[in-house]
A and B are shown apart, each in its own frame.
Chain A
Amino acid sequence: MTALILRDLKLAWRAGGGALTGVIFFLAVIAVVPFGVGPDLKLLAHIGPAIIWIGALLATLLGLDRLFQVDREDGSLDVILLRGDFLSLVGTCFIKCLAHWTATCLPLVVTAPSLGLFMNMDADAIVAVTLTLLVGTPALAFIGAVGAALAVSLPRGGLLISVLVLPLAIPVLIFGVSATLGAIEDPAPFTAPFLILAALTLFFAVLGPIASAAALRISTD
């Protein structure tokens, strides 16, 4: 299983792996917002956490279609599916999600603080948004894996995955942003939405691999 993580990370960072595609897209989205919204610093600081979360969500969706498809195209998926019982396939899906998160979502979390500066966010807000992204983005990866597994046999499945995944990702976005706002604006609570965000990640960490394993089983032809 460690071998699978290491292989996927290696593939993501080698030529054509696309680990940085998401980061560059994230950077592009956040960098154009101040130009579109205008130089109102107060407004930028207020919408900053939401914009960063939306940017991270879209950047996560961008790389999802390759999660299982690359393995299917070169025949590796067949050999991976040969492992036998359903439970070990669920484990494999969990590992794939973990590797995907480390390769494509963790760089987003790491770049989020510097992008917070674009949005005129103060130190507290930057810490809060980074923390909520760290806790919330695994949920996005686990949800995304289900869409990626369902659309694995479609050559241009990226758009379909986004449509499938977005409704499930909305709660993560809502609680991620509200926890961030709770940390910086006084009357709003932080603990409750943050715990719900953590619960969402744990919930999808169980459900996502099971659902994607089931989807992979039916999509082999």
Chain B
Amino acid sequence: MRLIAEKLGASRGGGLVFTGLSFAMNASEALVVSGPNGVGKSTLLRVLAGLLSSTEGAVRLEGGSGEALSAQCHYLGVQNAMKPVLSVSENLLFWQTFTGSSKLTVDEALAAVGLPSIGSTPFAYLSTGQKRRVAIARLLVSYRPIWLLDEPTSGLDTRAEAIFSGLLHGHLAKGGIAIAATHLPLGLVGAKELRMHAL
């Protein structure tokens, strides 16, 4: 599987955010997108996910299962995409049935993010870091080869960062692709880096 972005450009609110951005990624590769605030890191991730249309260029996926690119992406945005009144398990179970299943059950995914006994708690009662960990568990309960991560480790403590780094390595080892926009080091060995500059 190969993810290729060719001369990608996007605008937001009428103004051009970035232009002429190209990169290609093979299976088991990670890309860390960095750069100052407002340079278009989140916009780039939303364009890749198909949530925002690009003003120029294109994103292509070669190989893989032949499904649409957006149907093969996990998008972990700034928000956690969880309902506060539902319990943690109810939230994860819904996403599992809605976005497709994986080998992991909800309980196993929660154990993998280091929150084994939290399933019946309403999502609203969790701390910021716990909420983020549950959001990361969403990536585990249904399998999608491409992970688009927007500030994935915001709010996580050092132990949770290490857990997340391990999960990310596991995903890459299974032939996945990960693209992360972040300011914090993700502990990735051999990740490519894309430094974005203001226009």
Contact = CB atoms under 8 A, between A and B. Distances in A.
Q: Which range holds the interface residue count of chain B?
A: 20 to 34
Contacts of B50: 81-82
Nearest to B135: A75
Interface core residue of B50, B70, B75, B83 (most chain A CB under 10 Å): B83
A17 interface: yes
Given A75-B78, A78-B81, A11 B86 contact: yes
Contacts, number: 73
B75 A79 contact: yes
B85 interface: yes
A201 B121 CA distance: 40
Interface string B77-112: 111111111100010011101110000000000000
Given A74-B83, A76-B83, A82-B70, A4 B98 contact: yes
B12 interface: yes
B86 A83 contact: no
B81 A7 contact: no
A60 B81 CA distance: 26
A40 interface: no
Contact of B67 (A79, A84, A221): A84
Given A11-B83, A14-B85, 7 more contacts: A76-B81, A78-B75, A78-B79, A79-B98, A82-B49, A85-B68, A221-B12
Interface of B: 12, 46, 49-52, 67-68, 70-71, 73, 75, 77-86, 90, 93-95, 97-99
30 contacts: A2-B97, A3-B94, A3-B97, A3-B98, A4-B94, A4-B98, A10-B90, A11-B85, A15-B85, A17-B85, A74-B79, A74-B80, A74-B81, A75-B79, A78-B49, A78-B79, A78-B81, A79-B95, A79-B99, A80-B98, A81-B70, A82-B49, A82-B73, A82-B99, A83-B70, A83-B71, A83-B99, A84-B71, A220-B51, A220-B52
